[in-house]
Amino acid sequence: MNAPRGRPRSFDRAAALDRALEVFWAKGYDATQVADLTAALGIRPPSFYAAFESKEALFREAVNRYLGTVGDQTIRVLEESPHLRDAVAGMFEASIEVALAAPAGGCLLILGIVHRTPGNAALCDWLASIRASNVQSIRLRLQAAVAAGEWPDAATVEPAVSFLASMLQGLSLRARDGATRQQLSDAVAMTMTLFDAMAARPRARTGARK
């Protein structure tokens, strides 16, 4: 069978997505030009459009590739660790690893698009929905911890979610600005000290007489 017109016979889509992902991660969506992508993938523009249709379509596919590989580490640790403290600490540690391994530092979901414009609004909304899903994962983990007796009460879940999500996203920004592993680890250690203090609060009593 002949290869699709415009696409090289040796085209490896998974490898191409990995290279495109590195370009988007390093430069951001808006600063990345099709010429940057064709150079990284080693193909000509006709082959690029035959394979991916557009820069936006390739970005979406690259983000999905990210979510299916390195990008799911933080939430996977959060969801799979049996004990709450291990889950939260592991989430932060995985986030540091991902952020420091990035071509330019940080998380693609946060730094892939920084400035919203009419041309990238749909992509901004899509990335925001993915980030919101990650925040929801933190919320569900804390709600489960309340039921398991690992978190004091439901009333403090939302403040804790906001705190943990802000810290998680902040690590990415600090890594992009050049923070070292030690600096990020120190920030996580302080965060976990505060987390432990919140978790150690007495459980709210229900049904008590006034």
Residues 106 and 192 in one domain: yes
| Per-residue model confidence (pLDDT) at position 12 | 86
pLDDT reading at 208 higher than 50: no
Residue 210 lies in a domain: no
Largest interatomic CA distance in the chain: 80
pLDDT reading at 92 higher than 80: yes
Residues 62 and 83 in one domain: no
The CATH number of residue 156's host domain is 1.10.357.10
Q: Buried b vs exposed e over 56-92: b needs ≥16 C-beta within 10 Å?
A: eebbbbbbebbbeebbebbbebbeebeebeebbbbbb
Domain containing 54 equals 13-66
Element (H, E) at 23: helix 13-27
Q: What gap in Å lies between CA 114 and CA 125, rounded to an integer?
A: 12
Residues 58 and 81 in one domain: no
The CATH number of residue 21's host domain is 1.10.10.60
* Contacts of residue 104, Cβ cutoff 8 Å, sequence gap at least 6: 25, 26, 27, 111, 176
Model confidence over 98-153: pLDDT tens digits? 999 888 888 999 989 989 999 999 999 999 999 999 999 999 999 999 999 999 99
Total tally of structural domains belonging to the chain: 2
Residue 204 lies in a domain: no
Residues 96 and 61 in one domain: no
